[in-house]
Amino acid sequence: MPEITILKRPREEAVITQRMFFKKTARGKVIKVLRERYLRDDISCGVNGCRACNATAQTVLSRSGDTTHKDFPTGHYILPDTNVFLAQMDLIEFNYFTPPIIILQTVMEEVRHRSLPLYSRLKALTTTDERKVWVFYNEFRSETAIVREDDETPNDRNDRGIRKAAEWYNAHLTLAHPPIRGQPNVALPKVVLITDDFANRQKADKEKIPCISVRDYVDGMKNSDQLLDLLSATGSDEVEPTRAVAGRTALYADYLPMSTLVAGVKAGQLHQGHFNANQYNYLEGTVPVPAFTKPVLLVGRENMNRAVQGDVVVVEVFDEREWKAPTDEVIDQEATLKNDDAEDSEEEGDDLMVHEHESKALRAEHTKKAPAEKQPTGRVVGIIKRNWRAYVCHIDSTSLTSSNATSLGLQTVFATPVSRLLPRIRLRTRQAPSLVGNKILVTIDRWEITSRYPEGHFVRTLGKAESKEAEQESLLLEFEVPYRPFGKAILDCLPPEGEQWVVPPKSAANPEWRDRTDLRDLIVCSIDPPGCQDIDDALHARRLTNGNIEAGVHIADVSHFVHPETAMDNEAAARGSTVYLVDKRIDMLPALLGTNLCSLRPHVERLAFSVIWEMTVDAEIVNVRFTKSVIASKAAFEYGEAQLRKDDPKLNDNLTQSIRLLNSLAQKLKAKRMAAGALNLASPEVKIHLDSSESSDPVDVEQKALHETNSLVEEFMLLANTSVAKKTQESFPQTSVLRRHLPPPPTNFEKLQDILQKRKGLKLDVSSSAALADSLDKCLDPKEPAFNTLVRIMATRCMLSAEYFNSGSVSRDTFGHYGLASPIYTHFTSPIRRFADILVHRQLAAAIGYTPLHPSLHSKMHVERIMEVVNRRHRMAQMAGRASVEFYVGLALKGRNEREKEVTEDAFVIRTFRNGLGVFVSKLGLEGLVMFKRDTQFDAENYTISVPSSDIGRPDVTISVFDKVTVRIEVEKDKNTQRGRVKMTLVSPVDSRAL
């Protein structure tokens, strides 16, 4: 028997090897955590050919480092501190920034603690093949591990650990490059500490550690002119503020300390929520908070206090006597502030003039308002979490001091975001003339209390404005859609057979067939939109000998290929959803799965997860079973094709009978849902006609046609989702992945109810979903069939958004889906394009005993975290899809403008302003503004506006909400930003060009 030797660590080493800290639990309890760390001396430095390290260790850093920097001609590696990654990630990720980087474990952990999004970007940087990045585990190397000293802050301890590692590296490189007898000594490369912390640089200089600030380092690089624009202002204590910021009187109040904010929210004296900017008036915003049924209104830039769309803010609510009503006037930022100078916009004269202009607009708005229209009003007193990110912008050409294309002088200019919800951003750049006419990415760095605008830095150019490539990329970036190619680690998770993978022959020896039901003989078909390649679902129906009907929904078994805690699973969780644009699709899963191995193509055997019901002819469910299966779809129909087959009296084959049987059941299922109070809402959906299958040039736009077969598929998907939700919630009551739609607060409908009552004499009952559904059915105008659809669209906008949630995190009485009138619901039917569905598949597989549930899905905290990401990604995917449609509608209109003398369309008035109208063009699914420059008579109480007639001597023309008008539609390019935008003017009942 071999001899075993146990080596005991000396007690005095415990100070270094043990790490103790205190942690606060979710319930507020403070616990002491003691972690043991095992120090080693074999952790590699990462330098190729290092003789002092293990010869078999992996290395990525070249032996001589980078020799192109003017200050380090003998070669160097950079070792950035934590704040460099927190503030200058755009610089570090840029293609031209290529020095070899050493990232310390201390830095990685601190970045993870400070910002998870930046940590994800940093992790991605360490895995890319194009960059030379080495992660050094300094906390586990015996020579670089340190212990926090008495009275030393965690930040000071980390700074000391970073300096210690830099010092060790420089000493270690002398061992890696020992002198060779008979040859002259070679100058060694240096490890350079990069930090913008002046005190840290002083200590490093004192300890003889090479160090430099980020700006000084970039100044010495080859491409410094381009790289200097990427520097974040917050990262450096050397960056001078623009003249507009320096030495000016404060425009805003300072934020309260975080401890005061937290205590105030807890005590109910302050309120926390997300800031939402007003798209029609840049001087207004709202913050929904739980304490009030209406959101808190913020009026004026002082009360919005530098909040940006999406920020988590804390507000103080004013006394009820100071409450106001929202604006009835369109106040455009670009028009109001068009004469601002980017450098001198805070000069006293300009400041007073703009302030007076803004004050006048606000005074006109918030007088003579009915008390019922007023809502809680307040001001922002602090920011809990900033939502700052890279924004897609255009350079305002009027803000340039020099338009000389060869000028490399530093200019301060305005970057105008494409989103109307964001403020203009002040930007310092040497590339201003060459950026005009391009779409660019800009990140906000800071917003001083002395500045009307936030300050930011240039990230990169996306391309020429209005080019399809730049517009498409900007759309993905604007809605934070991950669109990077799938990496090697993800692709390695795919079946090695690739496209040659097939369902193996049925045999007990093949694991694919374990506990699967063979349904290959069933008459199964799929019915999808035109051009669908990722076919998630298929259906079947057949009569049973007992007179009942068997109906089945068969869903692609994606969870067979995507396993928990793998690179592919993590990527799918991060993406959350497939994003559908007009002419492309950003997949959640690699195409091999989404459009091939998981897609339920016809005449190919595929793995599926089936839900099969036995029903009576009246669609009453007798029983339901869930099973993993193998199917072979007999046909893949488009909605229109399936409709024609169903309606063709000459066809009576088994497949046609199955479709008719499914349709008959679907009609009865829908009738039951509607009787239970389900809502039949509407959203504007249009179809873009492209020039050809190879071209992405739009030629026309039309409303999508809906067939009976659309409803057929929808009803069975709803039934499957409801059945699965019941099953998984019974099995996993604490961590079941469900979807709910909360009832909207009645106050959300107040304005729509008032408009319907005053303009049409119609009543909208919102006491329950059934009452709302019934009253929506009665909102009819015999003269205008499209009126009911318009009301349903407006009612949809009053609703809350549906959301995924963890069943153990909310009370049972909030599980319901208001719109579907279902007590419980989930998403099971689209696992190729929704990550939530994959989780539900795993839970259902465990519920039927097919596989044990992965430990992560037993954790409430883990499921809640995933739901938060998936909800956000789902919202962003929907918004990106809508924005893509809007862009292509604009292109189609631009083409029509070129072909036709004038493009006119019928539209409905959906909102009246003091100086304009909001209109909806149903044929194009397009919403727009018609603006009036001349004075009008505005009746806010009755939602009407009276404008002078086009004909001299005729009385004024009165226009109200729900009126049908004719609009002229043009696509014009803003001469300053080069941004194309749709412009609408009235043709009838009055020509607004004269107004």
HEC assignment per residue over 853-879: CCHHHHCHHHHHHHHHHHHHHHHHHHH
Q: Quick one: pLDDT band at residue 244, thresholds 50, 70, 90? A: very low
Query: In this structure, how many other beta carbons lie within 10 angstroms of the beta carbon of residue 538?
Result: 29
Q: How large a percentage of the chain has pLDDT more than 70?
A: 88
What are the structure tokens assigned to 30, written together?
């403070």
The predicted model scores a pTM of 0.85
What's phi and psi for 878, nearest 5 deg?
-65, -45
pLDDT of residue 784: 87
The answer to whether residues 181 and 175 touch, using CB atoms and an 8 Å cutoff, is: no
- Whole-angstrom CA distances from 260 to 144, 152, 340 are 39, 25, 36
Which residues 6+ apart lie within 8 Å of 390 measured at CB?
90, 441, 442, 443, 459, 477
Amino acid at 332: D
Give tens-digit pLDDT for 91-115: 999 888 999 999 999 999 999 988 8
Q: Quick one: pLDDT band at residue 27, thresholds 50, 70, 90? A: low
Give tens-digit pLDDT for 385-422: 998 888 999 998 888 876 665 566 788 899 999 888 99
Segment 882-897 shows an average pLDDT of 84
**If you average pLDDT over every residue of the chain, what do you get?**
87
Which residues 6+ apart lie within 8 Å of 269 measured at CB?
316
Query: In this structure, how many other beta carbons lie within 10 angstroms of the beta carbon of residue 508?
Result: 7
Look at 244-248, 318-322, 641-645, 658-662 and tell me which has the smallest mean pLDDT.
244-248
Q: Compare 914 and 736 and report the one with higher pLDDT.
A: 736
Q: Is the pLDDT of residue 568 over 80?
A: yes
> Coil, helix or strand for 804?
strand
Q: Find the DSSP H helices in 648-738.
A: 654-675, 708-731
Q: How large a percentage of the chain has pLDDT more than 90?
A: 56
pLDDT of residue 322: 92
Give tens-digit pLDDT for 167-185: 999 999 887 776 766 666 7
Give tens-digit pLDDT for 930-946: 988 877 888 888 999 99
CA gap 227, 229 in Å, rounded: 5
| Cα dihedral 141, 147, 153, 159 sign | negative
Residue with tokens 């391309």: 463
Give tens-digit pLDDT for 816-867: 999 999 999 999 999 999 999 999 999 999 999 999 999 999 999 999 999 9
Q: Is the pLDDT of residue 976 over 60?
A: no
List, as one string, the DSSP characters of 591-641.
HHIIIIISS--BTSEEEEEEEEEEE-TT--EEEEEEEEEEEEBSEEEEHHH
pLDDT of residue 363: 59
Give me the residues paired with residue 281 across strands. 331
Residue with tokens 């057949």: 542
What does the radius of gyration of the chain's CA atoms come to, in whole angstroms?
A: 32
Q: Quick one: pLDDT band at residue 240, thresholds 50, 70, 90? A: very low
CA 604 centroid distance within chain: 36
CA gap 993, 982 in Å, rounded: 15
> Coil, helix or strand for 92?
helix
pLDDT of residue 51: 81
